[in-house]
Amino acid sequence: MQNKNNKVKLLVPLFSVFLGLLIGGIIMLLSGYKPIEAYVALFQGMVGDPYFIGETIRQMSPLILSGLAVAFAFRTGLFNIGVEGQLLVGWLAAVYVGVTVDAPTIVHVPLAILAAAVAGALWGAVPGILKARFKVHEVITTIMMNYIALYSTNEIIRNFLLAPGERTENVKESASLASPFLQSITEYSTLHYGIIVALIAAVIMWFLLWRTTMGYELRAVGFNQHASQYAGINVSKNIVLSMAISGAFAGIAGSMEGLGTYQYMTINAAFTGVGFDGIAVALLGANSAIGVVLGAALFGGLKIGALNMQSIAGVPTELVGVVIALIIFFVACSYIVHWLMNRVSKGGKI
Protein backbone atom coordinates (compact mmCIF):
# COMPACT_ATOMS: atom_id res chain seq x y z
CA MET A 1 0.00 0.00 0.00
CA GLN A 2 2.75 2.37 1.05
CA ASN A 3 4.59 1.48 -2.12
CA LYS A 4 1.61 2.22 -4.33
CA ASN A 5 1.07 5.58 -2.61
CA ASN A 6 4.65 6.59 -3.24
CA LYS A 7 4.31 5.63 -6.87
CA VAL A 8 1.24 7.85 -7.23
CA LYS A 9 3.01 10.66 -5.41
CA LEU A 10 5.78 10.56 -7.97
CA LEU A 11 3.56 9.98 -10.98
CA VAL A 12 1.22 12.93 -10.37
CA PRO A 13 3.93 15.59 -10.73
CA LEU A 14 5.66 13.84 -13.62
CA PHE A 15 2.40 13.43 -15.49
CA SER A 16 1.43 17.04 -14.75
CA VAL A 17 4.72 18.36 -16.09
CA PHE A 18 4.29 16.26 -19.20
CA LEU A 19 0.73 17.48 -19.78
CA GLY A 20 1.76 21.09 -19.10
CA LEU A 21 4.55 20.93 -21.66
CA LEU A 22 2.29 19.16 -24.14
CA ILE A 23 -0.42 21.83 -23.99
CA GLY A 24 2.27 24.54 -24.03
CA GLY A 25 3.52 22.93 -27.25
CA ILE A 26 0.01 22.95 -28.72
CA ILE A 27 -0.35 26.65 -27.88
CA MET A 28 2.96 27.33 -29.64
CA LEU A 29 1.85 25.33 -32.65
CA LEU A 30 -1.44 27.22 -32.85
CA SER A 31 0.32 30.58 -32.63
CA GLY A 32 2.73 29.69 -35.40
CA TYR A 33 5.90 28.84 -33.47
CA LYS A 34 7.93 25.66 -33.74
CA PRO A 35 7.41 23.76 -30.46
CA ILE A 36 10.23 21.24 -30.85
CA GLU A 37 12.80 23.88 -31.73
CA ALA A 38 11.53 25.99 -28.82
CA TYR A 39 11.68 23.18 -26.28
CA VAL A 40 15.17 22.21 -27.41
CA ALA A 41 16.24 25.83 -26.90
CA LEU A 42 14.46 25.86 -23.53
CA PHE A 43 16.28 22.71 -22.43
CA GLN A 44 19.64 24.00 -23.62
CA GLY A 45 18.97 27.23 -21.81
CA MET A 46 18.45 25.27 -18.60
CA VAL A 47 21.45 22.95 -18.56
CA GLY A 48 23.13 23.39 -21.97
CA ASP A 49 26.49 24.64 -20.69
CA PRO A 50 28.14 25.58 -17.38
CA TYR A 51 26.88 29.17 -17.60
CA PHE A 52 23.24 28.10 -17.92
CA ILE A 53 23.67 25.51 -15.15
CA GLY A 54 25.04 28.25 -12.91
CA GLU A 55 22.10 30.55 -13.71
CA THR A 56 19.59 27.75 -13.11
CA ILE A 57 21.10 26.93 -9.72
CA ARG A 58 21.16 30.64 -8.83
CA GLN A 59 17.48 30.93 -9.70
CA MET A 60 16.76 27.85 -7.59
CA SER A 61 17.81 29.28 -4.23
CA PRO A 62 15.00 31.81 -3.68
CA LEU A 63 12.54 29.35 -5.24
CA ILE A 64 13.54 26.56 -2.83
CA LEU A 65 13.05 28.89 0.12
CA SER A 66 9.73 30.31 -1.02
CA GLY A 67 8.60 26.77 -1.85
CA LEU A 68 9.59 25.65 1.66
CA ALA A 69 7.61 28.55 3.11
CA VAL A 70 4.44 27.53 1.27
CA ALA A 71 5.01 23.82 1.94
CA PHE A 72 5.58 24.37 5.65
CA ALA A 73 2.31 26.25 6.01
CA PHE A 74 0.50 23.63 3.90
CA ARG A 75 1.76 20.86 6.19
CA THR A 76 0.03 22.55 9.08
CA GLY A 77 -3.21 23.15 7.23
CA LEU A 78 -2.58 26.78 6.31
CA PHE A 79 -2.31 28.45 2.92
CA ASN A 80 0.37 31.12 2.87
CA ILE A 81 -0.18 33.27 -0.23
CA GLY A 82 1.78 35.99 1.55
CA VAL A 83 5.23 34.62 0.73
CA GLU A 84 5.69 37.47 -1.73
CA GLY A 85 5.24 40.11 0.97
CA GLN A 86 7.33 38.24 3.52
CA LEU A 87 10.04 37.92 0.89
CA LEU A 88 10.01 41.67 0.29
CA VAL A 89 10.36 42.60 3.98
CA GLY A 90 13.08 39.94 4.35
CA TRP A 91 14.90 41.35 1.34
CA LEU A 92 14.75 44.84 2.83
CA ALA A 93 15.91 43.68 6.28
CA ALA A 94 18.85 41.75 4.83
CA VAL A 95 19.93 44.69 2.67
CA TYR A 96 19.52 47.10 5.59
CA VAL A 97 21.85 45.01 7.76
CA GLY A 98 24.17 44.52 4.79
CA VAL A 99 24.44 48.25 4.18
CA THR A 100 24.52 49.70 7.69
CA VAL A 101 26.36 47.15 9.85
CA ASP A 102 30.13 46.70 9.93
CA ALA A 103 31.26 43.21 10.83
CA PRO A 104 33.51 40.42 9.60
CA THR A 105 31.90 38.13 7.01
CA ILE A 106 31.50 35.24 9.45
CA VAL A 107 29.19 37.42 11.54
CA HIS A 108 27.78 39.76 8.92
CA VAL A 109 26.27 37.22 6.52
CA PRO A 110 24.49 35.17 9.20
CA LEU A 111 23.31 38.37 10.88
CA ALA A 112 21.82 39.70 7.63
CA ILE A 113 20.11 36.37 6.92
CA LEU A 114 18.81 36.25 10.49
CA ALA A 115 17.41 39.76 10.11
CA ALA A 116 15.60 38.63 6.97
CA ALA A 117 14.21 35.59 8.75
CA VAL A 118 12.97 37.67 11.69
CA ALA A 119 11.37 40.27 9.43
CA GLY A 120 9.65 37.56 7.39
CA ALA A 121 8.55 35.76 10.55
CA LEU A 122 6.99 38.90 12.01
CA TRP A 123 5.23 39.69 8.73
CA GLY A 124 3.96 36.11 8.51
CA ALA A 125 2.89 36.01 12.16
CA VAL A 126 0.34 38.81 11.66
CA PRO A 127 -2.04 36.70 9.51
CA GLY A 128 -1.37 33.84 11.92
CA ILE A 129 -2.46 35.90 14.91
CA LEU A 130 -5.50 37.19 13.04
CA LYS A 131 -6.44 33.63 12.15
CA ALA A 132 -5.89 32.28 15.65
CA ARG A 133 -7.51 35.17 17.47
CA PHE A 134 -10.25 36.44 15.13
CA LYS A 135 -10.75 33.46 12.78
CA VAL A 136 -9.92 35.65 9.77
CA HIS A 137 -9.07 33.53 6.76
CA GLU A 138 -5.33 33.64 6.10
CA VAL A 139 -5.75 33.64 2.33
CA ILE A 140 -7.26 37.12 2.31
CA THR A 141 -5.02 38.62 4.99
CA THR A 142 -1.84 37.31 3.38
CA ILE A 143 -2.89 38.79 0.03
CA MET A 144 -3.54 42.14 1.71
CA MET A 145 -0.22 41.93 3.57
CA ASN A 146 1.54 41.46 0.22
CA TYR A 147 0.35 44.85 -0.99
CA ILE A 148 1.14 46.50 2.31
CA ALA A 149 4.68 45.06 2.11
CA LEU A 150 5.15 46.19 -1.50
CA TYR A 151 4.17 49.81 -0.86
CA SER A 152 5.83 50.04 2.56
CA THR A 153 9.22 48.64 1.53
CA ASN A 154 9.26 50.99 -1.46
CA GLU A 155 8.51 53.94 0.79
CA ILE A 156 11.20 52.95 3.30
CA ILE A 157 13.80 52.67 0.55
CA ARG A 158 12.71 56.02 -0.89
CA ASN A 159 12.98 57.77 2.46
CA PHE A 160 15.94 56.12 4.16
CA LEU A 161 18.07 54.03 1.82
CA LEU A 162 17.85 55.70 -1.56
CA ALA A 163 20.82 55.55 -3.93
CA PRO A 164 20.91 56.73 -7.56
CA GLY A 165 18.86 54.46 -9.81
CA GLU A 166 15.75 54.03 -7.64
CA ARG A 167 17.45 51.49 -5.39
CA THR A 168 19.50 51.05 -2.23
CA GLU A 169 23.29 51.10 -1.93
CA ASN A 170 25.07 47.81 -2.54
CA VAL A 171 25.50 45.67 0.56
CA LYS A 172 29.03 45.66 2.00
CA GLU A 173 31.52 43.11 0.76
CA SER A 174 31.36 41.35 4.13
CA ALA A 175 27.62 40.70 3.79
CA SER A 176 27.73 39.48 0.23
CA LEU A 177 27.00 35.92 -0.80
CA ALA A 178 28.64 36.48 -4.17
CA SER A 179 31.35 34.01 -4.99
CA PRO A 180 34.07 34.67 -7.54
CA PHE A 181 34.98 30.98 -7.31
CA LEU A 182 31.48 29.73 -8.18
CA GLN A 183 31.25 32.34 -10.91
CA SER A 184 34.56 31.31 -12.44
CA ILE A 185 33.67 27.62 -12.68
CA THR A 186 30.36 28.47 -14.38
CA GLU A 187 31.71 30.74 -17.12
CA TYR A 188 30.88 33.85 -15.09
CA SER A 189 27.24 33.24 -14.33
CA THR A 190 25.74 35.07 -11.33
CA LEU A 191 25.84 31.92 -9.17
CA HIS A 192 26.36 32.62 -5.46
CA TYR A 193 26.57 30.75 -2.15
CA GLY A 194 22.83 31.17 -1.53
CA ILE A 195 22.13 27.67 -2.80
CA ILE A 196 23.96 26.28 0.25
CA VAL A 197 21.71 28.34 2.53
CA ALA A 198 18.66 27.08 0.67
CA LEU A 199 19.69 23.43 0.92
CA ILE A 200 20.43 23.80 4.65
CA ALA A 201 16.97 25.35 5.04
CA ALA A 202 15.42 22.33 3.29
CA VAL A 203 17.16 20.01 5.77
CA ILE A 204 15.99 22.19 8.67
CA MET A 205 12.40 22.06 7.49
CA TRP A 206 12.55 18.27 7.20
CA PHE A 207 14.13 17.98 10.65
CA LEU A 208 11.67 20.40 12.27
CA LEU A 209 8.62 18.65 10.88
CA TRP A 210 9.61 15.03 11.23
CA ARG A 211 12.11 14.83 14.08
CA THR A 212 10.84 17.24 16.73
CA THR A 213 7.86 17.38 19.08
CA MET A 214 7.02 20.82 17.74
CA GLY A 215 6.85 19.41 14.22
CA TYR A 216 4.60 16.60 15.39
CA GLU A 217 2.21 19.09 16.96
CA LEU A 218 2.24 21.30 13.87
CA ARG A 219 1.43 18.39 11.61
CA ALA A 220 -1.24 17.15 13.99
CA VAL A 221 -2.96 20.53 13.87
CA GLY A 222 -2.73 20.38 10.08
CA PHE A 223 -4.41 16.99 9.96
CA ASN A 224 -7.25 17.70 12.36
CA GLN A 225 -7.61 20.80 14.49
CA HIS A 226 -10.39 19.43 16.63
CA ALA A 227 -8.62 16.18 17.43
CA SER A 228 -5.43 18.11 18.25
CA GLN A 229 -7.35 20.42 20.54
CA TYR A 230 -8.87 17.42 22.27
CA ALA A 231 -5.42 15.87 22.64
CA GLY A 232 -4.27 18.94 24.51
CA ILE A 233 -2.38 20.72 21.73
CA ASN A 234 -2.64 24.51 21.74
CA VAL A 235 -4.08 25.04 18.26
CA SER A 236 -3.90 28.85 18.28
CA LYS A 237 -0.24 28.85 19.30
CA ASN A 238 0.59 26.37 16.57
CA ILE A 239 -1.17 28.41 13.89
CA VAL A 240 0.85 31.50 14.79
CA LEU A 241 4.05 29.47 15.07
CA SER A 242 3.50 27.83 11.71
CA MET A 243 2.89 31.15 9.94
CA ALA A 244 5.94 32.66 11.63
CA ILE A 245 8.24 29.80 10.58
CA SER A 246 6.77 29.88 7.10
CA GLY A 247 7.39 33.63 6.98
CA ALA A 248 10.96 33.11 8.18
CA PHE A 249 11.68 30.83 5.20
CA ALA A 250 10.12 33.44 2.91
CA GLY A 251 12.21 36.19 4.50
CA ILE A 252 15.39 34.21 3.89
CA ALA A 253 14.28 33.81 0.27
CA GLY A 254 14.36 37.61 0.13
CA SER A 255 17.89 37.66 1.51
CA MET A 256 18.97 35.47 -1.41
CA GLU A 257 18.05 38.33 -3.74
CA GLY A 258 19.45 41.00 -1.46
CA LEU A 259 22.76 39.42 -0.52
CA GLY A 260 23.32 37.16 -3.49
CA THR A 261 21.80 37.92 -6.85
CA TYR A 262 21.39 41.70 -6.79
CA GLN A 263 23.40 42.85 -3.75
CA TYR A 264 20.83 45.64 -3.33
CA MET A 265 17.08 46.20 -3.36
CA THR A 266 15.23 48.11 -6.03
CA ILE A 267 12.04 50.08 -5.64
CA ASN A 268 9.70 47.42 -7.00
CA ALA A 269 6.93 48.60 -9.29
CA ALA A 270 5.28 45.20 -9.01
CA PHE A 271 5.70 41.88 -7.23
CA THR A 272 8.77 39.76 -7.96
CA GLY A 273 6.63 36.68 -8.60
CA VAL A 274 9.08 34.47 -6.68
CA GLY A 275 6.63 34.17 -3.79
CA PHE A 276 3.82 33.08 -6.07
CA ASP A 277 6.11 30.62 -7.85
CA GLY A 278 6.72 29.14 -4.40
CA ILE A 279 3.10 27.95 -4.41
CA ALA A 280 3.74 26.07 -7.63
CA VAL A 281 7.03 24.67 -6.37
CA ALA A 282 5.46 23.43 -3.13
CA LEU A 283 2.54 21.83 -4.94
CA LEU A 284 4.78 20.10 -7.43
CA GLY A 285 7.05 18.94 -4.62
CA ALA A 286 4.09 17.47 -2.69
CA ASN A 287 5.06 19.71 0.26
CA SER A 288 8.13 17.64 1.09
CA ALA A 289 11.59 19.13 1.49
CA ILE A 290 13.18 16.99 -1.19
CA GLY A 291 10.22 17.54 -3.51
CA VAL A 292 10.53 21.30 -3.10
CA VAL A 293 14.21 21.17 -4.08
CA LEU A 294 13.36 19.17 -7.20
CA GLY A 295 10.40 21.40 -8.03
CA ALA A 296 12.57 24.49 -7.65
CA ALA A 297 15.15 22.94 -9.97
CA LEU A 298 12.47 22.48 -12.62
CA PHE A 299 10.91 25.94 -12.27
CA GLY A 300 14.27 27.69 -11.88
CA GLY A 301 15.41 25.96 -15.03
CA LEU A 302 12.21 26.79 -16.92
CA LYS A 303 12.53 30.49 -16.01
CA ILE A 304 16.17 30.68 -17.10
CA GLY A 305 15.62 28.50 -20.16
CA ALA A 306 12.71 30.71 -21.24
CA LEU A 307 15.17 33.51 -22.02
CA ASN A 308 17.08 31.24 -24.39
CA MET A 309 13.80 30.04 -25.90
CA GLN A 310 12.86 33.64 -26.66
CA SER A 311 16.19 34.56 -28.23
CA ILE A 312 16.53 31.40 -30.35
CA ALA A 313 12.97 30.33 -31.22
CA GLY A 314 11.31 33.74 -30.79
CA VAL A 315 8.70 32.40 -28.36
CA PRO A 316 7.80 35.01 -25.70
CA THR A 317 9.04 34.06 -22.21
CA GLU A 318 5.47 34.31 -20.91
CA LEU A 319 4.74 30.93 -22.48
CA VAL A 320 6.69 29.40 -19.60
CA GLY A 321 4.31 31.17 -17.21
CA VAL A 322 1.44 29.51 -19.05
CA VAL A 323 3.13 26.10 -18.82
CA ILE A 324 3.73 26.58 -15.08
CA ALA A 325 0.07 27.54 -14.60
CA LEU A 326 -1.03 24.42 -16.47
CA ILE A 327 1.27 22.26 -14.35
CA ILE A 328 -0.33 23.67 -11.17
CA PHE A 329 -3.78 22.96 -12.59
CA PHE A 330 -2.90 19.36 -13.30
CA VAL A 331 -1.28 18.85 -9.90
CA ALA A 332 -4.37 20.38 -8.26
CA CYS A 333 -6.57 18.06 -10.31
CA SER A 334 -4.57 14.98 -9.32
CA TYR A 335 -7.98 13.34 -9.39
CA ILE A 336 -7.53 12.86 -13.16
CA VAL A 337 -4.23 11.10 -12.67
CA HIS A 338 -5.64 8.81 -9.97
CA TRP A 339 -8.62 8.07 -12.16
CA LEU A 340 -6.47 7.30 -15.20
CA MET A 341 -4.17 5.09 -13.15
CA ASN A 342 -7.09 3.21 -11.68
CA ARG A 343 -8.44 2.58 -15.14
CA VAL A 344 -5.10 1.29 -16.35
CA SER A 345 -4.44 -0.89 -13.31
CA LYS A 346 -7.91 -2.43 -13.40
CA GLY A 347 -7.68 -3.29 -17.06
CA GLY A 348 -9.84 -0.58 -18.55
CA LYS A 349 -12.58 -0.72 -15.93
CA ILE A 350 -13.15 1.98 -13.36
Is 166 one of the binding residues for another protein (CB under 8 A)? no
Furthest-apart CA pair in the chain: how many Å?
69
DSSP 197-248: HHHHHHHHHHHHHHHSHHHHHHHHHHH-HHHHHHTT--HHHHHHHHHHHHHH
Q: Are 77 and 225 in contact (CB under 8 A)?
A: yes
Q: What are phi and psi of 334, to 5 degrees?
A: -55, -15
Distance, CA of 10 to CA of 209 (rounded, Å): 21
Among positions 21, 143, 307, 341, the unique one binding another protein when judged by CB under 8 A: 143
Q: Print the binding letters for residues 304-323 with another protein: x by CB under 8 A, - otherwise.
A: ------------x-xxxxx-
Number of residues that this document lists for the chain: 350
Binding status of residue 173 toward another protein by CB under 8 A = no
Quick one: CA dihedral 259, 261, 265, 270, positive or negative? negative
- Check residue 152 for interaction with another protein (CB under 8 A): yes
Q: According to CB under 8 A, which residues from 2 to 31 bind another protein?
A: 27, 31
Question: For another protein, which stretch binds (CB under 8 A), given 53-61, 116-124, 144-152, 286-294?
Answer: 144-152
What is the smallest separation between the CB atom of 317 and another protein, expressed in angstroms?
Answer: 9
Encoded one letter per residue, x for contact with another protein by CB under 8 A and - for no contact, window 270-309 reads: x-----x--xx--x--------------------------
3-state secondary structure 75-90: HCCCCCCCHHHHHHHH
**Are the C-beta atoms of 25 and 161 separated by less than 8 Å?**
no
Among 8, 103, 148, 178, binds another protein (CB under 8 A): 148
**Of the candidate residues 141, 176, 255, 287, the single one contacting another protein (CB under 8 A):** 141
Name the residues that contact another protein, by CB under 8 A. 27, 31-32, 79, 81, 130, 133-134, 136-137, 139-141, 143-145, 147-148, 151-152, 154-155, 269-270, 276, 279-280, 283, 316, 318-322, 324-326, 328-329, 331-336
